[in-house]
Structure 1
Amino acid sequence: MLIRNKLILRFTLLVLAIQLSLSLFVYFFHAATREQKFVNRLRGKCELTGRILLQRGNLRAGILRTFRRRDLLTMPQEQISVYSPHGRLIYESDDRIDQRGNEAHLAEVRPERPVSFRFGGREALGMTYAFEGGDYRIFAAGYDDVGFQQLDKLRLILLVGNLGALALIVVAGWYFAEESLKPMARVVREVRRITASNLSRRVNEGNQKDEVAQLAMTFNRMLAGLEQAFEAQKSFVAHASHELRTPLTNALGTLETSVLYDENLAEAKRSMQSAQQEIRRLIGLTNSLLALARADEATVSRQQVRLDECLTQALANCAAKYPGRQVRLSFGELPEELDEPFVVEGNAPLLSTALLNLLDNACKYSDGPVLVELGYRGPGTLQIVVQDAGIGIEPAALERIYEPLFRAETGRQTATGYGLGLPITQKIIRLHGGELLVESKVGEGTTASVRLPAAPVL
């Protein structure tokens, strides 16, 4: 069901429920008021009967036999009965009155405690009337013809009014839903116009305060992320195509030249060696791309590992790759409460790869010594800082160093590489719940800081 229809239905049911509740309250309040008025009328009839028949001595003087009964009648189907203090019927306004209802409630009537009840389709009231030291019981019954007619009219008015109001409620609900969903419909129309070819378009954020504006702002943030991801993907494809095509083209050109022009084994070997270097470069690039893909996997096995051992492994690999390069390792202060330091929850091979990438960059772009410090930034955070005094990275390129296959201009001019080391390292560190921070100044060097959450002590 559409949200518009749901809003109309819920609005209609809610308002209808409120209106029906109000109508029922009005009806039952009017019914209770009618009943109270009629009981008061019956009370007045009982008092009038007591004054006429008892207070004036009409019963003792024998006037009752000549008293015209219809002179007391003031309401439809009125019935009046008088009982003596001993419970004997001494007067009734009609010989055909069924006294069973009165006799059933005769014992319940007490001074200052009238009893109201229904019997034979009539409403009745029984009360006491004190006269000459005795409590006479007078019962008055009748049918509230006018009151019930007014109640029927009220019921008809409420029924017709509710039916008419129901139609108005449906129209109002439709208008309410239509007006409420107009901003949403506008957002939907604007989002539908945005495709992969025009991700730069944005949704109108309105007043930037209500829920629809918040939705539009969320869409815009999502579109900005998608646009950035698309641009990164385009850049990655362009760089990957270039990096893959160059060694393949060089190897193919070398082999074709060798086939056409090499006349002896020595020349053929030189051509094959050249092609072999290009193929090794291609294999290295492929392995780096595979490492980048594996760094995205969140299902790697995890266990408690010693970060200092991972760093030691990375330092050994770096020393083998850059013999004679000075890499100075130092340790920061350790928290006193630790039984076993430098323990993290993660994957040792991946962490060693990430640290080796940082060391490789530091040695590749710097001729001087590389400083490495392992310590704690806080009781729950481990930190490794790799610092070099190399060529540095220009500010514009520093914002793009995590893009795969992106290389700064200073790096292109001084060293070979594919621009995959830092993206792989960042993904590995994030996979372990940490963060990688890189600060650099051109001509002064680069500082890379890795912060990882320490494993809880078991």
Structure 2
Amino acid sequence: MLIRNKLMLRFTLLVLGIQVGFSAFIFYFNASMRAQRFEHRLTNSALLAGRLLVRTHKLETGILGSLRRGDLLTLPAEQVSIYGPDNSLRYSSADNIDQAVNRARLAGLRPAQPMKYPAVGHREAIGLVFLQEPNSDPYRIFVSAEDRIGWAQLRQLGLLLVLGNVGALVLTILAGWFFAGAALRPVARITRQAGRISATNLGRRLSEGNGRDELAQLAHAFNGMLAGLEQSFESQKSFLAHASHELRTPLTTLTGTLETALAYDATLPEARQSLAQSLDAARHLSALTNGLLNLAKADGALPAFAPVRLDECLNQALQFARAKYPGREWRLSFGEFPTETEADPFMVPGNAELLVTALLNLLDNAGKYSSGPVRTELAYADADTLRVRVTDAGPGLTQEELRHIYEPLYRASGALGRPGYGLGLPLTQRVVQRHGGRLEITSAPGAGTTATVWLPAA
């Protein structure tokens, strides 16, 4: 079922429930008031009969005088029966009254307490004890009648409520359809806009409307997702372009060298030279492939993390860097760290192999491009975060280059002609992010480069 239909149905059922409940309350209230009013009229009729017939002693003498049997009747189909102190019938407004019912009710009457009896059809009855004087013998009076006007008014009220509810139901359905459509119109607009977005035009964005309601928040979240997808697509395209180029070069060299050797090398020295060139191309291809595999590994599922000493990972990375760049000066310093703790202050949750690889990539870049000493610092950025900072004295990077350094296989202008494939920083960034940390590169032309890693402490 469409959301519009669901909203309209729920809105209609809610309003209908409120209407029916309110109508039932009005009908019940009026029915109760009608019963109370008619009971009061029956009681007044019984008291009037007692005053005119009992208190004037007309029933004791048996002479009604100028009164006729029907003169006391003021209600539709009214019947009046009066019983004396000896439970004998003294007066009856008609001869066809079923006195057996009244005689059965005589014992249940109490002074000063009118008794209302269950209605038979539309005929309602009451009985009461009437005294000529405070200490006189009691007479018992029964009055019954039909509240034709009251019932007619109640039926008219019920019909009016039914017609009103039917009309209100129709209006509610129309209003629900209109307001559900109005409420979902922005959703329809977002749907149309989203339908026009494809892999070829990810630069499109959804309208965020007033920027405040839930639909605006949905559009904002969707736009953020589109921005991430666009960036991922662009990174993927850049990665594929660079990867195809980088992989094609050593493959072409390897293939050309082997074909040349097969066609022209006639002596062992010439063959050995061709094999050496082929081996260099194969090593280049192997190193590039390993870098791509490491990058994919960082994006995939990682092994379960365990407590790792970050200072040991850094020392191991420094040993590899010193062995690779023996002429470079490497300086290690320690900043502030907690002293009032018995736990190892340099412990972080993670994978030691990946952390060593990430730190070694930073040190390798610093050793490759620095013309002076490389300074490394391990410290606490705050009570819960460890910080590793690597600073070199290299040529630095421009702001345009800084925007692309995390793209796989991207190489800055200063890196051309130097060994490397543009995979170190992207791999380092992903390893740090997978460990819940953050990598930041700051640089300026001629001012060197500083790489800072923040990792959550164990």
TM over 0.5: yes
Write the distance in 2 (CA, Å) between the matches of 1:93 and 1:404. 111
How far did 1:260 drift?
Answer: 3.9
- Would you say 1:19 and 2:24 are equivalent positions? no
Q: Secondary structure at the match of 1:195?
A: coil
Equivalence for 2:411: 407
- The answer to which of 161-170 and 295-304 deviates more is 161-170
Q: Are 1:7 and 2:7 matched, yes or no?
A: yes
* Farther-moved stretch of structure 1 (34-43 vs 229-238): 34-43
Identify the residue that residue 142 of structure 2 maps to in structure 1: 139
Residue of structure 1 equivalent to 2:400: 396
2:178 aligned residue? 175
CA deviation string 1:140-173 (max 9, x = no partner): 2111122112222322333333334333333332
Mean Cα displacement is larger for which, 210-219 or 274-283?
210-219
Compared with structure 1, are the counterparts of its residues 85 and 410 closer, same or farther at alpha carbon in structure 2 (3 Å cutoff)?
Answer: farther
Aligned to 2:206: 203
Answer yes or no: is 1:383 the counterpart of 2:387.
yes
Root-mean-square deviation over aligned CA pairs:
2.3
Mean Cα displacement is larger for which, 191-200 or 254-263?
A: 254-263
Aligned residues: 454
Q: Percent identity?
A: 55
How far the C-alpha of 1:401 sits from its partner, in A, is 1.5
What is the 5 A alignment of 1:265-344? 265-335=268-338, 336-344=340-348
Q: Provide, for residues 257-294 of structure 1, a one-character-per-residue CA deviation record: whole Å limited to 9, x for no partner.
A: 33344443223322221221121111101000000011
Distance 2:104 2:416 in 1: 113
Cα distance per residue 1:347-402 (max 9 Å; x no partner): 11111111111111111111311111122222221211111111111111112211
| Corresponding residue for residue 422 of structure 2 | 419
1:121-270 pair list within 5 angstroms: 121=121, 122-133=123-134, 134=136, 135-270=138-273
Paired position in structure 1 for 2:93:
93
Change (3 A) 1:99 1:429: farther
The secondary structure found in structure 1 opposite 2:59 is coil
Whole-Å Cα distance in 1 between the matches of residues 336 and 215 of structure 2?
Answer: 52
Q: Structure 1 counterpart of 2:130, which letter?
A: Y
Report the equivalent of 1:51.
51
- d(CA) in 2 for partners of 1:448 and 1:85? 115
Aligned mates of 1:262, 1:246 — CA distance in 2: 22
In the TM superposition, residue 213 of structure 1 has moved relative to its aligned partner by 2.5
Aligned to 2:369: 365
209-218 or 3-12, larger mean C-alpha shift: 209-218
Q: Name the TM-score, length of structure 1 as normaliser.
A: 0.92
Letter in 2 for 1:304: P
**Per the alignment, in what secondary structure is the counterpart of residue 174 of structure 2?**
helix
Query: Conserved in 2, the CA contact under 8 Å of 1:101 and 1:119?
Result: no
**Tell me, which stretches of 5 or more residues in structure 2 are unaligned?**
none
Q: Distance in 1 between matches of 2:330 and 2:83?
A: 122
5+ residue gaps, structure 1, are none
In structure 2, relative to structure 1, the CA distance for the partners of 1:27 and 1:364 (3 Å cut) is same
Equivalent residue number for residue 70 of structure 1: 70
Amino acid across the alignment from 1:79: Q
- CA displacement, residues 184-243 of structure 1 (integer Å, 9 cap, x when unaligned): 111111111111111112222222222222222222222222111111111111111111
The residue that corresponds to 1:434 in the other structure is: 437
Shift of 1:453: 1.2
Q: Match of 1:293, as an amino acid?
A: A
